[in-house]
Amino acid sequence: MCSGPATQLAEAPALEQHPSMQLVRFRPQPAPHCHAAGPGDRGASTAGAGCAPRNMAAPDLAQISDVDIDSDGVFKYVLIRVQSAPSSGTPAGESKEIVRGYKWAEYHADIYDKVSGEMQKKGYDCQCLGGGRISHQSQEKKIHVYGYSMGYGRAQHSVSTEKIKAKYPDYEVTWADDGY
């Protein structure tokens, strides 16, 4: 009788799913030093792919822009915590939150996967703190932050808004928890 991995998998108990959870598509587990809060968005994921080695020196966090959003339109955004990757068992170093929002993204995970991949190549760990939407009206100098991400949950819009106000001081920047 065979007792290899296939037999062990067949004997494993079935996983229970919480009634409020909805699995949309398989999302590979990230490497231990790559983090995404929440079960993930719909769509393919590359979280964990291309993670930077832990011994890679991280540049100064101040060199990372707090806000990078498209110049006009309504689009998805994510709030990401970026921190120096811990080296061989030491605790993580300093961190900062960054706001990223783009019209090209079909899913919040598309933004997180792209940004976290770029940050990890530079020696940073990333964690998605949530998402939402941004309405950027450049002609009227207005930005409104609202809604939530199905996969990552609602970002703390007050934090995102303060960062956006710092980048766009001559804009009217508002936020609300309502909407999708």
Does residue 33 carry a catalytic annotation? no
Structure tokens at 162: 């303060």
- Quickly count: other Cβ atoms within 10 Å of residue 33's Cβ: 17
Closest CA to 127 of 37, 32, 45: 37
Structure tokens at 50: 């291309």
Contacts of 34 (CB under 8 A, 6+ apart): 47, 48, 51, 116, 120, 125, 126
Q: Which residue in 56, 62, 1 sits closest to 33, CA to CA?
A: 56
Structure tokens at 73: 């339109």
The residues near 19 (Cβ < 8 Å, ≥ 6 apart) are none
d(CA 118, CA 51): 9
Q: Which residue out of 18, 108, 144, 157 is catalytically annotated?
A: 108
Q: Which residues are catalytic?
A: 108
